[in-house]
Chains A and B, each alone.
Chain A
Amino acid sequence: MYTKRIIPCLDIKNGRTVKGTNFINLRDAGDPVALAKIYSETGADELVFLDISATEERRKTLAALVSRVASQVNIPFTVGGGISSIEDVDILLQNGADKVSINSSAVKRPELINELASKFGSQCVVVAIDATYIDGEWIVHLVGGKVPTKRTLFDWAKEVAARGAGEILFTSMDNDGTKDGFANEALARLSNELSISIIASGGAGTMQHFADTFTHGKADAALAASVFHFKEIEIPVLKQYLKTQNIQVRI
């Protein structure tokens, strides 16, 4: 059995849920724990919390939030944002997170992936990759897509898999916020070239976009935020639709 996963992403700032378009212009979409609970009760397969706070209190605030989520939510969830050490991960997992997602810290110091995989297991290490298509190449970007690196998507994805990542969360910065669909060509190539799960992110606008990313994009899971937060797409309806498209989902 191969079941595709639907993953709402909650962007968190100072304990509240926010979501921007192309990562700028943030809008408030509610209390993260309340939202998480609703999603877990209405068919979400997993949740991702992405913390974009930049305060000194962030680590403590995030750990407290993770604990509140874990106490009320009975599906797996991933926490990302500003994680750069074994200690950061340890605190989040101890508070009840199932997985962590790392991005910039992995690009800056790739050994972190090996360290986390060997200490906590590959299954809890998600490496998030943000990339933009420039002059025929997918270029990896940092800091919410603002800073280009010298790395290219496919080389970096292979490296993180070899270093022990359990999953890759690929966000196409070109698609993110457009509601024009996922970057299925790049996703399909990632899925073909790697033997770990690929989560598609960036571009969800319609239910067909989800079907397309699972069939054409060969994604194992699809992540979206605003279409879920603003109820443009309701997960139970989406899953029924996917089933009619012969895509295996948990209902």
Chain B
Amino acid sequence: MNIVIINYGAGNIQSIKFAIERLGYSAKLSNDPEEIRTADKVIFPGVGEASSAMQKLKESKLDQLIPTLTQPVLGICLGMQLMCNRSEEGLTKGLGIFDVDVVRFRESVKVPQIQWNTITKLKTALFKDISEGEFIYMVHSYYAPVTDQTIAMSTYGEPYSAAIGNANFYGTQFHPEKSSQVGAQILSNFLEL
């Protein structure tokens, strides 16, 4: 299987690569549009600040490519957020793949959320063999509210989208590559879609 991790200078790319290798696959890091377009699976990582990450995507014209992809695509953390309509962080216009706006956690909770949280109301094959209430690792200050595209829910002060799905596009707010055996199973499910 040809797995490409989009390498645009804003990701915890090494950890995702290692996680895929632990599952017995290998992954290529690339920002080449042709390599990304022809991959069997595409992973879109992201860590850091939204507007500067989006700027980097634009520099390599990947902002135009990603929404046109037809194979399974998995956005992780900031990657997922950039796939939404827009983000309150840096007032960033997103890729518009997920029909929701990303907002910041309010003052009543500690920000960033850094903890193992539970996921519930699991939908789609991404969560095959995953039980309701399993723990995954979350690190973020902004979140996508719950919408009809939500495929996993968490609560931190208020309910939010732990994962979103739309056709061939999936996004997880949590880090499957850092979420122990549960995360490994979710990543494996994605690769088997």
Given A3-B116, A70-B15, verify A120-B48 contact (CB < 8 Å).
Answer: yes
Instruction: Give every chain A residue within 8 A of B49 (Cβ-Cβ).
Output: 118, 121
Instruction: Give every chain B residue within 8 A of A197 (Cβ-Cβ).
Output: 110, 112, 114-115
B141 contacts A123, CB within 8 Å?
yes
Q: Which of B33-41, B59-67, B93-101, B180-188 contacts A (4 or more CB under 8 A)?
A: B180-188
Q: Find B107's partner among A3, A96, A195 (CB 8 Å cutoff).
A: A195
Instruction: Give every chain B residue within 8 A of A220 (Cβ-Cβ).
Output: 110, 114-115
A130 near B: Cβ within 8 Å?
no
B140 near A: Cβ within 8 Å?
yes
A98 contacts B12, CB within 8 Å?
yes
Which residues in chain A, 67-112, are within 8 Å of chain B measured between CB atoms? Answer: 67, 70-72, 74-76, 93-96, 98
B22 near A: Cβ within 8 Å?
yes
B117 contacts A1, CB within 8 Å?
yes
| B122 smallest CB distance to A (angstroms) | 15
| A222 smallest CB distance to B (angstroms) | 13
Instruction: Give every chain A residue within 8 A of B18 (Cβ-Cβ).
Output: 70-72, 96
Nearest-neighbor residue (CB-CB) of A95 within chain B = B14
Q: Find A121's partner among B19, B48, B107, B118 (CB 8 Å cutoff).
A: B48
A5 near B: Cβ within 8 Å?
yes
Which residues in chain B, 44-68, are within 8 Å of chain A measured between CB atoms? Answer: 47-49
A124 near B: Cβ within 8 Å?
yes
Given A70-B18, A74-B183, A93-B12, verify A124-B47 contact (CB < 8 Å).
Answer: yes
Q: How far, in angstroms, from A196 to B105 measured CA to CA in the complex?
A: 12
A27 near B: Cβ within 8 Å?
no
A243 near B: Cβ within 8 Å?
no
A76 contacts B115, CB within 8 Å?
no
Q: How far, in angstroms, from A95 to B112 measured CA to CA in the complex?
A: 23
Interface string of A201-231 (1 = CB under 8 A from B): 0000000000000000000100000000000
Interface string of A116-135 (1 = CB under 8 A from B): 00111111100000000000
Q: Find A75's partner among B21, B114, B137, B156 (CB 8 Å cutoff).
A: B137
| B89 smallest CB distance to A (angstroms) | 10
Instruction: Give every chain A residue within 8 A of B21 (Cβ-Cβ).
Output: 71
Interface string of A159-177 (1 = CB under 8 A from B): 0000000110000000000
B155 near A: Cβ within 8 Å?
yes
Instruction: Give every chain B residue within 8 A of A74 (Cβ-Cβ).
Output: 19, 22, 177-181, 183-184
B135 near A: Cβ within 8 Å?
yes
B139 near A: Cβ within 8 Å?
yes
A250 near B: Cβ within 8 Å?
yes
Interface string of B1-34 (1 = CB under 8 A from A): 0000000000010110011011000000000000
Q: How far, in angstroms, from A5 to B15 measured CA to CA in the complex?
A: 21
Nearest-neighbor residue (CB-CB) of A67 within chain B = B14
Q: Find B155's partner among A1, A195, A250 (CB 8 Å cutoff).
A: A1
A45 near B: Cβ within 8 Å?
yes
B154 near A: Cβ within 8 Å?
yes
Q: How far, in angstroms, from A167 to B110 measured CA to CA in the complex?
A: 10
A53 near B: Cβ within 8 Å?
no
With contacts A75-B137, A122-B112 known, what are 16 further pairs, Cβ within 8 A? A1-B155, A5-B115, A71-B18, A74-B179, A75-B178, A75-B180, A76-B139, A94-B14, A96-B12, A98-B178, A120-B48, A121-B47, A121-B49, A196-B112, A197-B114, A220-B110
Question: Interface of B with A (CB < 8 Å)?
Answer: 12, 14-15, 18-19, 21-22, 47-49, 107, 110-112, 114-118, 135, 137, 139-141, 154-156, 175, 177-181, 183-184
**Closest A-B pairs by Cβ, 5 of them:** A96-B14, A250-B135, A250-B116, A121-B48, A123-B139
